[in-house]
Amino acid sequence: MAPNSVVVTIEKPDSSALKVNGLDSSVFLEKQKAVSTKQFTWVLLLKVNRIFACLSWLPMAFRAMFVSLKKRIALSDMSDEEPKSRGRLYRFIKAFLGLSIVALVIEVIAHFKNWNLNLIQPWEVQGVVQWSYMTWSAFRVDYIAPVAIILSKFCIVLFLIQSLDRLVLCLGCFWIKYKKIKPTVAADAYDIEDSSSFPMVLLQIPMCNEREVYEQAIESACKMDWPRDRLLIQVLDDSDDRNLQLLIKDEVSTWNQKGVNIIYRHRLIRTGYKAGNLKSAMGCDYVKDYEFVAIFDADFQPNPDFLKLTIPHFKGNPELGLVQARWSFVNKDENLLTRLQNINLCFHFEVEQQVNGAFLNFFGFNGTAGVWRIKALEESGGWLERTTVEDMDIAVRAHLNGWKFIFLNDVRVLCELPESYETYKKQQHRWHSGPMQLFRLCLPAILTSKISMWKKSNLIFLFFLLRKLILPFYSFTLFCIILPLTMFLPEAELPLWVICYIPIFMSFLNILPSLKSFPFLVPYLLFENTMSVTKFNAMVSGLFQLGSSYEWVVTKKTGRSSESDLLALAERESLSSNEEKILRRNSESGLELLSKLKEQEVAPIPKKKKKNGIYRKELALAFLLLTASARSFLSAHGVHFYFLLFQGLSFLAVGLDLIGEQMG
């Protein structure tokens, strides 16, 4: 063996024992140390290079984001939001934001100058800023902190009560799944061969300017698998567009000539919105010949077997007044907004509606995809126009009269979700202001009704107060007002389990009915807090009967179809349609045909291009939360900082209308 050769023997993979022959061990160790130092230097240089690459990317990213925001603000439409943004809530948020910015500036100066109030005597104060800091600190300790602590404790108690209610509902849902509890019907409910054994059913389709969806709504209703002589379809058109009225009337006439028992109704005096439309239709003389009424909004597409899955539940159950089916969404994966809505509504149907239906035989009617016993409607006073939630109104009055409800989680009806934030916000405003209007009107009737004390307590404390009033109140107050306030009040800091652990756990429970949405757990939590400002504003306007509580805006639809509908449409279009065209022309009067010809001759009026909006309340809250996060960063709060940061960014995205459908 050569004198300078080196023999290395490794006894164990993790052992550091080396046998060195023919070479001084100290020389070998020095070479190893030099190699290790060189490798370590290269690793450090590589990491530094990556850091500089990231730092060079950040200014470009911020610049791109700033340009995008500037473009969005320049091109956005603020006409719809501007009148509402001048309300008291918006002015309060702006004032709170201004005070927070001033307080943050003073706190930053105090932080970098290391001011300590315990070591500074009054005569040692130098300058206006230091005097302002000392005055503010003394004022917050003596006056603001005690009030903030009391208010935060009150909201935390409400938060825990609501979380407990949500947990009980989830346990009830687990019990239903475990015991396989579901409504059942007799196998021989109706004689299939004898059509006279089927009850008379009235099917109503209320609509108003539903140009995108009226065809599919009428087609779905006309394909219902029910004896034709036992079914009447009412198309209740409240459209104010004359051309659209002609198109809907033409569609009805086409199906009528195919043998479907369908009629078209249009009110000359359009009062009461949807409730007025349904009330007018129920006033027809022929309605007395029918036993049940099924209601579908224009964007709903029931399967042909819908009536055969719902009507049999009424047989042998004379106390049953309503059978409600579940909604299913054709566009749930369209964008982030529809995905988050799907999480909410899946929990609403799977947990809230199913549990209340199974254990209480009562829940809020969803306004569509349900079948009513006409006798229950009439004995409960019929449709009333006093609120914007006529469906909840009739459900509460029927419950007070002793009628029972059934929810069918297995029967699903396709419909659409709002794809733009503007549409969704208006829908949520109506859904959260209406219940407070109804609560004020129904409270005397609930107290004087003959139902049991338990049912009265459930209606007042759970159905109305806890789920319709307390939920939006504490969500907005606790997470959008108190939490950023406590960043400037160290004496009133909220515990971590309030802002992190329990909200994440409750969001996880909400996502359980739609497990495929689990990756959206954190966005869902942030979005729910973001929507609290809209829900709180709506709740207050409904409770105190402010002007915006009576607004009714028809939810805009896009006319999306399911995959099976598209295949059926392609099959129909592949066939010859000459006979259809002849029937269609024969169904029109000369005046209607002349009107259509004139419409084709006249150049179409160009529509105003739709733009994304700017929502000032959400933007003001975004800057407020980001200001509070900066103050939290100075105090090294950790979880508080990250929560405020991401919640502020969530408000910013919503305020700039970046979450839903993006217009050109």
What does the DSSP 8-state code read for residue 610? P
Catalytic residues: 238, 391
Residue type present at position 291: E
Burial bucket for residue 245 (CB in 10 Å: 0-12, 13-18, 19+): middle
Q: Please give the C-alpha separations between residue 605 and each of 13, 413, 599, 600, 608, in angstroms, as whole numbers.
A: 82, 36, 11, 12, 9
CA gap 364, 357 in Å, rounded: 10
| Whether 511 contacts 333, CB under 8 Å | no
SS3 615: coil
Among 316, 324, 367, CA closest to 206: 367
Q: Cα Rg for the chain, rounded, in angstroms? A: 33
Q: Which amino acid is at 181?
A: I
Query: Which residue is it, tokens 């503010």?
Result: 136
Of residues 406, 401, 329, the one with CA closest to residue 365:
406
Cα separation, 183 vs 116, whole angstroms: 68
Q: Quote the CA–CA distance of 207 and 216 in Å, as a whole number.
A: 12
Phi, psi of 404 (to 5 degrees): -105, 155
**Taking each helix axis from N to C terminus, what angle separates 336-347 and 421-448, rounded to the nearest 10 degrees?**
20
Closest CA to 417 of 556, 518, 529: 556
Question: What phi, psi does 231 have (nearest 5°)?
Answer: -135, 135
At residue 8, the 3 state secondary structure works out as: coil
Distance separating alpha carbons of residues 93 and 623, to the nearest angstrom: 10
Backbone angles phi, psi at 514, to 5 degrees: -135, 75
Nearest to 401 by CA among 379, 384, 386: 379
Burial of 89 (0-12, 13-18, 19+ CB in 10 A): middle
Among 40, 55, 38, 77, CA closest to 664: 77
Instruction: Quote the CA–CA distance of 597 and 243 in Å, as a whole number.
Output: 11
In the structure encoding, which two tokens stand for residue 410, read together? 């297995």
Q: Which residues pair with 322 in a beta bridge?
A: 372, 405
Query: In whole angstroms, what is the distance from residue 524 CA to residue 510 CA?
Result: 9
- C-alpha 394/C-alpha 366 separation (Å) is 11
State how far the alpha carbon of 317 is from the alpha carbons of 154, 322, 366, 402, 407, in Å.
45, 11, 22, 13, 14
Contact 651, 621 (CB under 8 A): yes
Q: How far is CA 215 from the centre of its chain?
A: 27
- Could you tell me which of 560, 199, 633, 622 has the C-alpha nearest to residue 374? 199
Residue located via tokens 């042909």: 304
Residue 428: CB partners within 8 Å, gap ≥ 6? 531, 534, 535, 538
